[in-house]
Amino acid sequence: MLESVLIANRGEIACRIIRTAKRLGLRTIAVYSEADADALFVQMADEAHLIGPAPARDSYLRIDRIIEVAKRTGAASIHPGYGFLSERAEFAEACAKAGIVFVGPPASAISAMGLKDAAKALAQQAGVPVVPGYHGSRQEPDFLRQKAYEVGYPVLIKAVAGGGGKGMKRVDKAAGFDAALESAQREAQSAFGDPRVLIEKYVLSPRHIEIQVFADAHGNVVHLFERDCSLQRRHQKVIEEAPAPGMTPEMRAIMGKAAVEAARAVGYVGAGTVEFIADGREGLHPERFYFMEMNTRLQVEHPVTEAITGLDLVELQFRVASGEKLPFTQADLAIDGHAVEARLYAEDPEREFLPSTGKLWALDFPEGEGLRVDMGVEAGDEVTPYYDPMIAKVIAHAATRDKALARLAEALGETIVAGPKTNVAFLKKLCEAKEFREGHFDTGFIDRNMEGLGAVAQQTDGEAVRLGVLKLFDVDFDESSYRASIFNGPVPSPWDDRDGFQLSGARRQSFPVLIDGERADVLLQWPEPSQASANINVAARWADGTSRMLDDYMSKDPRNFVLTDDGVIVLRNGRQTRVSLYDPFNVDLEHLNGGDSVKAPMHGKLIAVFVKPGDRVEKGQRLAIVEAMKMEHALISPADGEVAEIAAEPGAQVAEGARLVVLKTEG
Ligand code: ADP
Ligand code: ADP
Ligand code: MG
C-alpha cells in the first residue's frame, strides 16, 4: 500500500477520501485555499498546506503549487477527487514526472476521453453504440445545419470540450438552428476556450444511465453495475440511484459489456464511469442506449454503487494505484438492495435555484441504519461563493427502491439546515413524487413538475413569522404560561384601526423587525387576564403597507428555532423564515430592502453596468449584470424611473443583497 496521499481537492470529497486513506494507514496531506483555512477537511487531514487565495484558478487549479507541496511533504500519491484537476491529463503527467503516483487513470486515457468527439469515435470503433449524429471536425454553419437535417430534429448541439452540463443547446426545428449554433459556440469558447461543437440526435424521453467501471494495471476490467441519474436540472444530476428502475439482467449485461469495452479501448486503469443515454419511451430496451461520454475519475454519486456492492471505491482506487490486482472478478459481484442519493445544495428553489451563501447557523442530519451522509461542512461554517455550493450528499440504502426512497425522504425531513437557503424540501418532494416513485420519469421530470415540487416563488410563511416573533421576544409560547412581562404597559399602536385589533384593555406592543430582510412592524397583543389560556396575537405590517394577522400555530420542537446573531430562523415545512430585530442604529444599509433599489441576487462579480446616474429607465430594462457560479444574472429595473445612484464599479465583488443601483421612481 502507498505510504501517503495528498488530496488535491476540498469539501465533502476531500473528507471522504481522507476517511478511507486513514483507515488504510496512509498519511493524509490536505492542500487548501485561504477561504478554506478552517474547513473540515483541513482539520481531518494529518497535515494541511495553504496553496493560495480563494479563487480556484489561484489555488485548487494550480498544478505547480500542488506538485511543489507534494514534493516538499514527500507525498507518495495524489488523489484528485472529482472536478478541479481530476480530468486534466497534464496534471496526471506532472505527477508522473515528479515520481508521484496519480490515483487515477493514465494521462493517455484521460486525453483519449477528454473531448466528446474523439471519445465517441473511439467508442464507435470499440463497437459501442453512440448517439447518432455528427462528431467530425468540420464546423461551418452550413455544413452543420445540413448534418442536423440529416440526423433529424430535435437535435442537441454539444460543446466538444464540454462538461458540467454547460454548452448544450437543444434545437427542435431547423429555423432555430443558426441562432442555437452561434450561442453554443460562444458559450463553449467562453467556458472551455474551445468553440467546437458536435451534433447529436436528441434522444426522446431520455434516461441517463451510467456504468461504473473498474480496471487494474494487469488487464482486468469489470463493471460495478449501473446508476440511474435521470433526475436532472440544467443537465446536472440532482438525485441518483442504483440499480436503474426497469433494468433487466439482460440489458445490464449488454450495457456493462459495452462500458468495459470502452474502458479497454483506452487502456483504462482505476475507477471510471461510462455515461449512456437511453431512449425511455417504451421502457428500457437493450437496443436503445447510446454512449455519451466517459468520466475518467470518481463520480459524485459513487456512494450508491458502494451501498449496493458493499465495496469502498476509494479503497479500490488506492489498491489499484499501488499496483494490486482487482480482488474480484465480474462473476463475484452482485447487487444488494437499492440505494438513492440526494445532493443537498445551498440554493434557493423559490428563486430559480440561485446559489445561496452565508453562515450555516445549524446543520444536523439524522443517523440510522441504511443512512449515510457525506459532508464537507459543519454548523458554524460559511458557504462561500467561490466553489460548488453542495452542502452534503444524503444516501439511503434499503432492500427495495420504495423503502430506500421512503428512508431518504424521511431523512431529508429530519435534516436541519439553517442560514443559506437549501433545496432540502425540494429533494424531499422529489423522493415522494408519485410518478417518480412508480418509476415513470426521464430527464425532463423536474422541469415538468417545478410547481408541484415547490420550486416557485412563495409567500412569506406567516406562521413562521409569528413563531419567530414570539421567540425573538422571548415569549414562552408553551400554551398557558406567558412571560410577557419583559415589556411594560400598553403602547398605543398607530395602526389599530386598519387591522381591527380590539383595544379593550388587552396589552399590546409594536416592534420594528426584519422579516427575511424586509422591514416590517409587528404588533403583539396579549390576552386579557380572564382568557388565561388564549394565545398571544401577532400581526405584522410590511414596509409596503400590507399587513396581516398571523395565524395561530404552535410548534414545540426547539430544533425548528435556530438562533442567529441578530434574531431567529424558523424552520417550517422545509422552508426557512428569518426574523430579526430591526435596529435603526445598526442597520446594514447596503442590504436593506427599499422599494427603489436593485440588489445583487447573490455573491458575485459585477461585470457590466448599462446605466449611469440621471438616466431614465423603464420597468424591465436591463441595468447591470452580475456573474456568479459561472452564470450571468441580469439585474432588471423594477419600475419606471431615474437612476439616482450606482453603488458599485464594474469589476467589483459584490455581496448577496448588496444594493447596486438606486432608482428614483414615479409616484
Ligand atoms: P456533460 O459533459 O456536461 O456531463 P453529457 O454529454 O454527459 O455532458 O450530457 C449531460 C446531460 O445532457 C445528460 O445526462 C443528459 O441528460 C443530457 N443529454 C446529453 N446528450 C443527450 C442526447 N443526445 N439526448 C438527450 N439528452 C441528452
Ligand atoms: P413541525 O410539524 O414539527 O412544526 P414542520 O412541518 O415545520 O415541523 O417541519 C418538519 C420538519 O422539517 C422539521 O421538524 C424540521 O426538522 C424540518 N425542517 C423544516 N424546515 C427546514 C429547513 N428549512 N431546513 C431543514 N429542515 C427543515
Ligand atoms: Mg456527463
**Highest mean pLDDT (candidates 146-155, 573-582, 625-634):** 146-155
Average pLDDT over the chain, rounded to whole? Answer: 89
* Nearest alpha carbon to residue 484 among 472, 476, 492, 495: 476
Cis peptide before 80 (omega within 30 of 0): no
Distance CA 238, CA 225 (A): 20
Residues 374-408: tens digit of each pLDDT: 999 999 999 988 899 999 999 999 999 999 999 99
Residues 222-251: tens digit of each pLDDT: 999 999 999 999 999 999 999 999 999 999
Distance CA 121, CA 118 (A): 5
**For ligand 1, atom 16: residue with the closest CA:** 235
Contact 215, 269 (CB under 8 A): yes
Query: From the CB of 572, is ligand 2 less than 6 Å away?
Result: yes
Query: From the CB of 413, is ligand 2 less than 6 Å away?
Result: yes
What is residue 521's three-state secondary structure?
strand
Q: Is the four-CA dihedral 311, 314, 319, 325 of positive or negative sign?
A: positive
**For ligand 2, atom 21: residue with the closest CA:** 574
CA of 555 to the centre of ligand 3 (A): 44
Contact 634, 625 (CB under 8 A): yes
Contact 129, 291 (CB under 8 A): yes
pLDDT at 260 over 60: yes
CA of 276 to the centre of ligand 1 (A): 9
Q: For a substitution probing ligand 2, which of 426, 560, 576 has the most ligand atoms within 8 Å of its CB?
A: 560
| 598 DSSP β-pair partners | 661
The conformational region for residue 358 under phi > 0 = left, psi -120 to 50 = alpha, else beta, is left
* Nearest alpha carbon to residue 580 among 571, 570, 594, 595: 570
Half-sphere exposure of 326 (CA within 13 A, CB side): 23
Residue with cell 445583487: 600
pLDDT for position 473 = 75
Ion ligand 3, residues whose Cβ is below 5 A away: 275
Contact 545, 495 (CB under 8 A): no
* Nearest alpha carbon to residue 202 among 234, 165, 158, 156: 156
* Nearest alpha carbon to residue 400 among 439, 365, 342, 434: 439
Query: From the CB of 575, is ligand 2 less than 6 Å away?
Result: yes
CA of 295 to the centre of ligand 3 (A): 7
pLDDT at 500 over 70: no
Active site positions, annotated: 297
Cell digits of residue 537: 396575537
Atom of ligand 2 nearest to the CA of 557: 3
Distance CA 589, CA 193 (A): 40
pLDDT for position 315 = 98
Contacts of 606 (CB under 8 A, 6+ apart): 600, 624, 625, 626, 648, 649, 650, 651, 652, 653, 654, 660
pLDDT at 444 over 90: yes
What stretches of 44-145 adopt beta strand conformation (E)?
47-52, 77-79, 101-102, 133-134
Residues 502-555: tens digit of each pLDDT: 445 566 777 788 888 888 888 877 666 665 555 667 777 777 777 766 655 455
Query: From the CB of 553, is ligand 2 less than 6 Å away?
Result: no
| 622 DSSP β-pair partners | 636
Residue with more model confidence, 282 or 627: 282
Q: Cα 229 to the chain's mean position, in Å?
A: 14
Q: What is the mean pLDDT of residues 558-576?
A: 88
Cell digits of residue 138: 468540420
Q: For a substitution probing ligand 2, which of 394, 416, 426, 575 has the most ligand atoms within 8 Å of its CB?
A: 416
pLDDT at 493 over 60: no
Query: From the CB of 114, is ligand 1 less than 6 Å away?
Result: no
pLDDT band at 488 (very low <50, low <70, confident <90, very high): very low
CA of 416 to the centre of ligand 2 (A): 7
* Nearest alpha carbon to residue 347 among 272, 288, 423: 423
What is residue 149's three-state secondary structure?
helix
Residue with more model confidence, 163 or 474: 163
Let me know if 267 is exposed, middle or buried by CB neighbors in 10 A (0-12, 13-18, 19+). middle
How many beta carbons lie within 10 A of that of residue 337, not counting itself? 16
Q: What is the mean pLDDT of residues 304-329?
A: 98
Q: In what order do the strands lie in the sheet with 371-375?
A: 289-295, 270-279, 206-215, 221-233, 236-242, 338-345, 390-398, 371-375
The conformational region for residue 165 under phi > 0 = left, psi -120 to 50 = alpha, else beta, is left
pLDDT band at 638 (very low <50, low <70, confident <90, very high): confident
How many beta carbons lie within 10 A of that of residue 501, not counting itself? 17
pLDDT for position 224 = 98
Cell digits of residue 345: 445544495
Q: What is the mean pLDDT of residues 199-205?
A: 96
pLDDT for position 68 = 98
Q: 122-136, 212-226, 331-345, 550-564 — which is least confidently predicted?
A: 550-564
Amino acid at 88: R
* Nearest alpha carbon to residue 101 among 218, 13, 1, 189: 1
pLDDT at 575 over 60: yes
What stretches of 99-220 adopt beta strand conformation (E)?
101-102, 133-134, 155-159, 168-171, 197-201, 206-215
Query: From the CB of 571, is ligand 2 less than 6 Å away?
Result: yes
pTM, 2 dp: 0.84
Residues 50-79: tens digit of each pLDDT: 999 999 999 999 999 999 999 999 999 999
In this prediction, what percent of the chain has a pLDDT beyond 70?
89
List the helix and strand counts (H, then E) for the chain. 17, 38
Atom of ligand 2 nearest to the CA of 571: 20
